[in-house]
Structure 1
């Protein structure tokens, strides 16, 4: 299991209630949480303090979640940060988009905060396991 005492998760969504609910669930599980209200702010926060995982909405003003993922991928220090993308129900990303952007998981809204927590733990566990192998 991931060392939640040290893992930092950046939550980015333009809907304050979603940020609040997801951040609260993650904090209650022992994660450190940073928040952003759009892709530009998330990119700035990620550059200032590299997160272990990013949970981002797809549709946001100023910079979409997909553009955020592409910009993160272009940054050498951030290119391997796993991303969970939150999307409107029925919206699907192409496999090529997922592969080229570092998006490891797509979750449709509405979602359960418990599902987001489970996805975060699973991805952080996978990153930890890969790091231990190398």
Structure 2
């Protein structure tokens, strides 16, 4: 008798340099039945995205070494990575910031502090779209 194939747990890479926000996101992601992973600077983010091909990237805009905008653009220009959904997060949630993120290829944009319901909804929307 064969075992049914287990669906893999979607992996979410959190790129966030503020520990308190990263801890809250880790908790929320686990509660949603997803597998979180975290890096805290831009250069490390690109390495991790290339190595692990996460199912979703939650990407802060303001990061040490490389901005979220630069990361988003680099992911979209890489044929092996361009399919990975990116949800950008920023404390500067102006319309200009949102347009810039979406123009560089982000799949979604959320202002911090974010409503948990909105974040959960966006994460699931992007994960469902990627399937």
Do these two structures clear the TM 0.5 threshold for a shared fold by scoring above it? yes
Larger Rg: 2
Q: What SS does the corresponding residue of 1:93 show, helix, strand or coil?
A: helix
Residue 94 of structure 1 and its aligned partner are, at CA, apart by 6.0
**Structure 1 spans left out of the alignment, 5+ residues:** 129-134
Normalising to structure 2: TM-score of the pair? 0.85
Q: Which residue of 2 aligns with 1:33?
A: 36
Following the alignment from structure 1 to structure 2, what is the Cα–Cα distance between the partners of residues 18 and 7? 20
Tell me how many residue pairs correspond in the alignment: 125
Is the CA contact (8 Å cut-off) linking 1:8 and 1:53 kept in structure 2?
yes
Residue 96 of structure 1 and its aligned partner are, at CA, apart by 6.3
Normalising to structure 1: TM-score of the pair? 0.83
CA RMSD of aligned residues (A): 2.0
Q: Which residue of 2 aligns with 1:107?
A: 110
**Structure 2 spans left out of the alignment, 5+ residues:** 1-6
Q: Which residue of 2 aligns with 1:81?
A: 84
